[in-house]
Amino acid sequence: MPRLLAVFLVCAALPAGAAARGRLEAAAGKVDITPDLAAEKTYLAGFGAAGKRPEGVHDPLYARLLVLRRDGKTVALAGLDLIGFYHNDVLDLRRRAGYDAPGRYLFVASTHEHSGPDTLGLWGPFPGVSGVNQRYRSRIKRAVAAELKALEGRLRPVDAAGGRGVLDPRGLCRDLRDPQAIDANIAVLRLSGRDGKAVATVVNWACHPETLWRENRFVSADYPGALCARVEEQTGGACLFFNGMIGGLLSPDSRAATFDEAKRIGTAVADAALALPIRGGGNGLAWRSKRVLVPLENPLYRVFLPTLVFGHDLLDAQGRPLPRRRAWTLALRQFLFGLAPADQPWIESEVAIVDAGPARLLGMPAEPFPELAVGGYDGRYAFGRPLVAPGHPDPPDLGRAPKGPYLRDLVRAPVPMLVGLANDELGYLVPEYDFKTSGRLFSRRPGHHEEVKTAGPSATKILLDAAAGLLRAE
């Protein structure tokens, strides 16, 4: 009895928060980031060389947030219903929310939905003219930063569990570019309070949110909105959706470009996630990230540098800042003469890993092709389709395809999550062997649309090497 009394007195004398030391704590919430169409001039992003004005809002866009803390370390996860969020915006958001300090990290990923506002400067009223509304962009960051700070005051002890599986993509997602390779993995991280009630569910699956296609004129979160709504309805907790390796091009396998189809796909994926066998796996919390320099080799991006430079600071090959006015001179030189490799600008991006309970999130700052994650050059992930369509005008040379290991081979965790568009958006990561579009301005080849929407051919190896280095640095 004296020993029990002593323990009680010691615990009672601990400072606030010390009783939770060694425990994982969490809090989750969301903020509405739907553009105000009456006050914020908006261009819908995602299709073609220019944007279009929306006629209304079908369903809201959200920033879904999860804050985790353990032993004085704090990690926040943010899932944004946006086409993308550049690295400079992520850095600014970290500063606003206080996540630029030691022991704190903010991981931001966009769903890449194609019925929301231009946040990348690629879909304005005319090709080459930005459609970004700076007032709206600032409002997003203010709202997210304020909610992240508020969530830190609502942290409570949680237990972490998770599950993984394979979801047959037929009727849900298809590959629009050969070779047919779909990363059909689905994973869930579930955080529950000590009362057993759900605090948050994180879902990871791969497919472009473009069910509504280019004819749509209404703001919508597409299938991720329906997915999160279903999970929240069924669990009573918050839901974050992190898209996966969607390049290549993973697109909804829909019957029609309708809101009903977006809801059907989102609901089906949510139900599959909720049906996964869930197991506990520890309550750890850790992260590591790596700064990566990427050359901007794409001639189209170089020509439009004055429009795009808000998202990244221009650097030389050694990572030294270039004056902002260089965006104009480099763009003009590219348009008139082209740029020599020694003169090309570089930008900074980031690869990151977050470990939360049994889950490991690998964040890639782009849209990696699914075959970079799973391989599948033998047809094992074609799901009933020919590996290469008969009569393909410019087929991939599969004899030159990489042998592995692939990204999923390297993410060793009970619940692996490969997250695209994380902390940046650099466009597609095309496998080097199949990068066929030349460096000429406006150059195109049949079946190789993705090469004109990427930083360039070197980005793939640079980012894959950075990810492999982080994954091997245990």
φ/ψ of residue 451, rounded to 5: -65, -25
The model's pLDDT over 270-295, given as tens digits with 9 standing for 90+, comes to 999 999 999 987 899 999 999 999 99
The model's pLDDT over 208-217, given as tens digits with 9 standing for 90+, comes to 999 999 999 9
Separation of alpha carbons 421 and 161, rounded Å:
25
Q: Sign (positive/negative) of CA torsion 146, 152, 154, 159?
A: positive
Q: What percent of the chain has pLDDT over 70?
A: 94
Computed on alpha carbons and rounded to an integer, the radius of gyration of the chain in Å comes to 22
| Residue 450: other Cβ atoms inside 10 A | 21
Reading the block at residue 65, the tokens are: 């947030």
Q: Sign (positive/negative) of CA torsion 196, 199, 204, 205?
A: positive
| Residue 409: other Cβ atoms inside 10 A | 13
Single pTM value for the model:
0.94
pLDDT in the model for residue 449 = 81
pLDDT (tens digit, 0 to 9) for every residue of the chain, 474 residues total?
Answer: 344 333 333 333 333 344 456 899 999 999 999 999 999 999 999 998 899 999 999 999 999 999 999 999 999 999 999 999 999 999 999 999 999 999 999 999 999 999 999 999 999 999 989 999 999 999 999 999 999 999 999 999 999 999 999 999 999 999 999 999 999 999 999 999 999 999 999 999 999 999 999 999 999 999 999 999 999 999 999 999 999 999 999 999 999 999 999 999 999 999 999 999 999 878 999 999 999 999 999 999 999 999 999 999 999 999 999 999 999 999 999 999 999 989 999 999 999 999 999 999 999 999 999 999 999 999 999 999 999 999 998 999 999 999 999 999 999 999 999 999 999 999 999 999 999 886 665 666 777 789 989 999 999 999 999 999 999 986
| Domain extent listing, the chain | 23-280
